[in-house]
Amino acid sequence: MPNAKGFKPDIDIRCRDFKIGCIGAGMIMAECHLAAYKEAGFPVAAIASRTRAKAEQVATRWGIAKVHASPEALIEDPAIDIIDMAYPPDQQPALIRHALKQPHIKAILAQKPLALSLDEAIKLRDEAAKAGKVLSVNQNMRYDQSMRVLKQILESGALGEIVFAQIDMHAIPHWQGFLEGYDRLTLANMSVHHLDVLRFLFGDPDEITTLTRKDPRTRFDHSDGITVSTMKFPSGAMAVSVEDVWSGPREAGYKDDQHIHWRVEGVSGVAKGAIGWPTGAASTLSYASTKTTGGEWVTPSWETMWFPHAFIGVMEQLQYAVKTGEAPALSVADNVKTMALIEAGYRSIKQGRTVKLSEISIS
C-alpha cells in the first residue's frame, strides 16, 4: 500500500471460493457488505429480506441473480455455502438456528450484537459447535485501517508498556428503526464496536465501570443514551470509551464537528488518530516512538476506509476459515467475551459499581 511505511492497513484476499447468500437489504447491507464484496470479487448468489421488493431493488443494483421470497427460503437454497446476515438481533438467533440445521450451509456471518442477551449468545455459540458449523460475528471495526495499523505498532513494541488508551466518539450512528423497541441502546449497539476493538488491541479487561444518562436529543425512549466506560486490564493499562451518539444540536446553520478520536499512550511512545466514518473519509493514524522513530511523529496513510472496505476483511476471514478448517478471526467464542463485557457494563450501570469480568459466567 503506498505511503503505509511497511504496515498492512488492509488484508490480503486468500479465498473467494464460497457462494454467499445475503439476508437483509438495509443500509449496512446495501452500502457496505455488498459494495465490499463487489470490490473483492466475493460471489454473492442470492439475497432476501423482510420485504421482497426491497431485496429486488438491492439485487438489481448489485447484480445479484436470485431473490428469495423470505430469509428462510434463502437459507434452504442448496446453492448457498455462507449465510451473511444483516438483521435485527431479536430475530437473528432464529435464522442462525435455521441455518445450523441445513447440511449445505458451511458458515454463518452474524451481525453484532449477536443477540439481545449474553445467555442467548452463549447458547448460539454452543449450538454452532454442536452442529459443526462456523459461526462468525461481524465486529468490523477490527478491520478499520487505523486499528489494524495500531495493532501492528503495538505488536512491534514501539510504544513500550501501554499505560492508557481512549476512544472518544461524538457522532450520530444510523439508529435502525427496530432499535426503538429495545430496552438497551448505546452500550449494546454502538459501544460494542469500541469495547470489542479494545479487547482486540489489549486483551480481556479485568473490570469495567460504566456510567450513562438518557440523551434529551435522542427522540425515542431509551435507557442508555450517552455512555462512558472505564476498563482496567491485567497489565495495569486503563482504557476509556466515550459514546456521545448525538454530538450537538441538529439545527439549521449549526456547524457540527462529528468525530471519533482515539489515543494510546505507552512508556516509549504515543499513537493517535481518527476514525473517518463520520465524515466519509479514510481513518488516520500518527505515532511517535523513542524506540523506532527517534521521537518524531510518523503518519502512515492509505486510501481505503472503514466503510465499506473493512467488510472485505470480515468476509475474507470467514471464507478462509471455511477453506482451511481453522477458526475464523472473528469467532463466536471470542464474540461471547465481548458480549460478556457489554453485560458487565450494564450490570455496572444498574448497580452503580465497578464489575469484575470474573463475575460474568460464559461457560
pLDDT per position as a tens digit, 25-46? 999 999 999 999 999 999 999 9
CB atoms within 10 A of CB 174: 9
CB atoms within 10 A of CB 252: 5
Q: What's the confidence (pLDDT) of residue 174?
A: 83
CB atoms within 10 A of CB 76: 17
Contact 19/79 with Cβ under 8 angstroms?
Answer: yes
Q: Are strands 162-170 and 207-213 parallel, antiparallel or unpaired?
A: unpaired
**3-class state of residue 31 by DSSP:** helix
User: Would you give the DSSP letter of residue 32?
Assistant: I
Which H or E element spans position 327?
A: none
pLDDT per position as a tens digit, 221-254? 999 999 999 999 999 999 999 999 988 888 889 9
CA distance 36 to 30: 10
Q: What's the confidence (pLDDT) of residue 11?
A: 98
Positive/negative CA dihedral, 20, 307, 221, 338:
positive
CA dihedral 169, 170, 174, 177 (to 10 degrees): 100
Q: What's the confidence (pLDDT) of residue 19?
A: 98
pLDDT per position as a tens digit, 67-118? 999 999 999 999 999 999 999 999 999 999 999 999 999 999 999 999 999 9
Q: What's the confidence (pLDDT) of residue 354?
A: 98
Cell triple for 252: 439549521
Q: Which domains does the chain have, with CATH numbers?
A: 20-140+311-330 (3.40.50.720), 143-304+339-356 (3.30.360.10)
Contact 283/273 with Cβ under 8 angstroms?
Answer: yes
* Strand arrangement, sheet containing 44-48: 66-67, 44-48, 20-23, 82-85, 107-110, 134-137
| Residues of the chain below pLDDT 50 | 1-3
**Entry pTM:** 0.96
Cell triple for 79: 446453492
Q: What's the confidence (pLDDT) of residue 249?
A: 87
Contact 231/194 with Cβ under 8 angstroms?
Answer: no
**3-class state of residue 89 by DSSP:** coil
CA distance 238 to 263: 12
User: Would you give the DSSP letter of residue 216?
Assistant: T
Phi/psi-derived region of residue 160, left when phi > 0, alpha when psi is between -120 and 50, beta in every other case: left
CA distance 231 to 51: 42
